[in-house]
Amino acid sequence: YQRRVHGGSGWWAPLLLSILIAGSTTWMVIFVISDKTVQKYVLIVLASFSIVFMWVTGCVDPGILPRGEELDSIFDDDIVEVYNGVKIIRKFCSTCQIIRPFRVSHCRQCNNCVLRYDHHCGAVGTCIGLRNHRYYLAFIYSISILCIYFGTICSIQLVGYVGNSKRDLYYYVNLLFIIFALAGNLISLFFSVGLCILHTFFLLHNITTHEDLKGSFEVKNSPFSLGSYWNNFYSVVLGRLPPSYIRLSKS
């Protein structure tokens, strides 16, 4: 397996998203709310958090497992084990040449087996797994708060611009920006808040997106649940992370 500065193959997606967030925030701060000091700094802080958490998510090893030896001739069948009263199939990965531990799946985009694989995020450009899941949650929460705040400012400014009697080129350029920004923000808000609700539900029940899509077991009866919402939350967001298996090399 290989490791780059950015963890996934789609580094261009977070780059474009960073430019979009930074660009729209800069325009808003310089041309739209330049006279509102508090709003400017709050917007800059929220945008910065969103961009930082996005890149941290992409650059942190999600939990990639090292490749094994050639075992095709030894393991022809999957292994069925019982975990907390639930039968779980541990599959053999012919690409990585390993018997997958519990909750490990192979990401086709990244071509690696990942610990507690959740999903491959196109926006971040990498897998979401055991070691970067908490940063992904911080990213979607921060981007949702940014969208709410950005949309609120745009709405307030739009009302003020409509009632403004001074209408020059500067007025119409900013008005168009606010309208397009508000429309794009509403779309972003729909997806980001939806992701927050969905992942919060999965988080509290200690289930991954991949497990839910596969229908491995009922969400509320996850064999990996630690008994309470707090325990499940703590294990993902605040629990101790295992060391990375990735070792940098000169090749």
Nearest alpha carbon to residue 204 among 145, 147, 144, 137: 137
Nearest alpha carbon to residue 132 among 224, 213, 246: 246
**Sign of the CA dihedral running 4, 8, 13, 18:** negative
Based on the residue annotation, tell me whether 121 is a catalytic residue of this protein: yes
- Please compute, for residue 125, the number of CA atoms within 13 A of its CA located in the half-sphere on the CB side: 21
Which position among 113, 121, 147, 154 bears the catalytic label? 121
Centre a 10 Å sphere on the Cβ of residue 220 and count the other Cβ atoms it contains. Answer: 9
Which residues are known to be catalytic? Answer: 121
